[in-house]
Amino acid sequence: MARVLVADNELCTGCGICELLCSYAKFKVFNPRRAAIHVVKLEPGMDAPIFCTQCGLCIPACPEGALSRNPQTQVVVVDKEKCTGCGVCVLACPYGAVHVDPVTNKAVKCELCGYCLKCPQSALKVVDVEEAVDWRRRNFARAYTTAPQMFRKLWYKPPLK
């Protein structure tokens, strides 16, 4: 069964610990710029982790054939020996979840190592693909219904007397 990473944006505080853990797992350095997961600050109090959804749209885009799906886990993986760092996979990713590492000049993306799951807020978890669809649908519905109230709290200025 294919598994993917999902995030609960209401639990994410934007602390960036997932980025630090990811970069350490991949490169043995604490450098969020080298992580495969990135926390985006949308608005004050609104943070969203960006990561690979394992959709596979980057696979056919790679001219070197450096991206493939692991047959056992269905996770999209990068073959560092084949990767030339051309960046075509970066352009092909609709989620902005692939980037070229500035040090190794190789593509970097989430390969579900699990280090980011040590999030102190438990905002991230790995689930089956079917559960992820329901998870995202619920998160979208919750965000759609609560966003107007949240924006009013953030930007409402009482009239001056």
Is there a domain that residue 45 lies in?
Answer: yes
- Report the CATH number at residue 143: 3.30.70.20
Q: How many domains does the chain have?
A: 1
Query: In this structure, are residues 58 and 67 in contact, taking their beta carbons and an 8 Å threshold?
Result: yes
- Say which residue the tokens 């649908």 belong to: 137
DSSP H helical ranges for the chain: 17-27, 88-92, 129-155
**How much is the pTM?**
0.80
Residue span of the structural domain in which 65 resides: 3-155
Is there a domain that residue 48 lies in?
Answer: yes
Q: How far apart are the first and last CA of the chain?
A: 61
pLDDT recorded at residue 136:
75
Q: For each of the chain's 161 residues, which pLDDT tens digit applies?
A: 789 999 988 889 999 999 999 999 999 999 999 999 999 988 777 788 999 999 999 999 999 999 999 999 999 999 999 999 999 999 999 999 999 999 999 999 999 999 999 999 999 999 998 888 887 777 777 766 776 666 666 666 666 66
Is there a domain that residue 161 lies in?
Answer: no
pLDDT recorded at residue 45:
75
Is there a domain that residue 46 lies in?
Answer: yes
> Which are the contacts of 134, defined by CB distance < 8 A and separation ≥ 6?
none
What letter would DSSP give residue 160?
Answer: P
Is there a domain that residue 89 lies in?
Answer: yes
For the chain, the C-alpha Rg in angstroms (whole number) is 18
C-alpha span between 33 and 19 (Å, rounded)? 8
